[in-house]
Amino acid sequence: MSHRLGSNREIRKLVEYLREGETVTHLLGGVYGPGTGLVVLTDRRLMFLKDGWTSQVTEDFPFEKISSVQWSAGMLLGKITIFASGNKAVIDQVQKPDGKAMVDAINGIISRGPAHAPAPAAPVRQVPEPAPMSSFEMVKELRNRGVLTPEEFGVIVNRL
């Protein structure tokens, strides 16, 4: 992720939105519907996450529902268009290198077809919610999962 402008809160909260055993492969910032947020590509799905002070929005695009993904680039920024289940979703103001890499990764996954896509996670039974994590613990968990590099971890910890 080359630029984080407008996505720092979502990066800190990302661990709360990931499913057990889910691995993040690509991150990028962009504008979708309700505003600026984080676009996350995992081994199981594509997700848009906006975690603001007054509202939280997530939009999931499971790989088996995505029929195609398009990339278009302008002078400075680009746009990702996702066609899923007969709907069209557009994520604007995406950094060009990040957007192109993510679209290439998604196209690689969907071109292999459902037989090669990762199996969906088994339903998880509800367990009592754990005690809230401190900001440091959440950032540490993201580092341990490989979402943040050691350099990114250091920058975020210094901000806390």
Q: What is the DSSP letter of 23?
A: -
Q: How far apart are CA 146 and CA 47, in angstroms?
A: 18
**Cα separation values, 87 from 58, 65, 68, 96, 137, Å:** 16, 10, 11, 24, 37
Q: How far apart are CA 114 and CA 94, in angstroms?
A: 27
Q: Any idea where the domains of the chain sit in the sequence?
A: 8-114
Tokens of 17: 């939105």
| Percent of the chain whose predicted confidence (pLDDT) is above 70 | 79
The arrangement of secondary structure in 8-114, i.e. its CATH architecture, is: Roll (2.30)
What confidence tens digit (pLDDT) does each residue in 96-142 have?
A: 989 999 999 999 998 886 544 555 555 655 555 555 556 677 778 77
**pTM for this prediction:** 0.65
Q: How far apart are CA 25 and CA 16, in angstroms?
A: 17
Rounded to 10°, the helix 135-145/150-159 angle is 170
Task: Show pLDDT as tens, one digit a residue, over the chain (160 residues).
Answer: 444 455 677 888 888 888 888 899 999 999 988 688 899 999 999 999 888 777 788 888 999 999 999 999 988 899 999 999 888 999 999 999 899 999 999 999 988 865 445 555 556 555 555 555 566 777 787 778 777 788 887 877 777 6
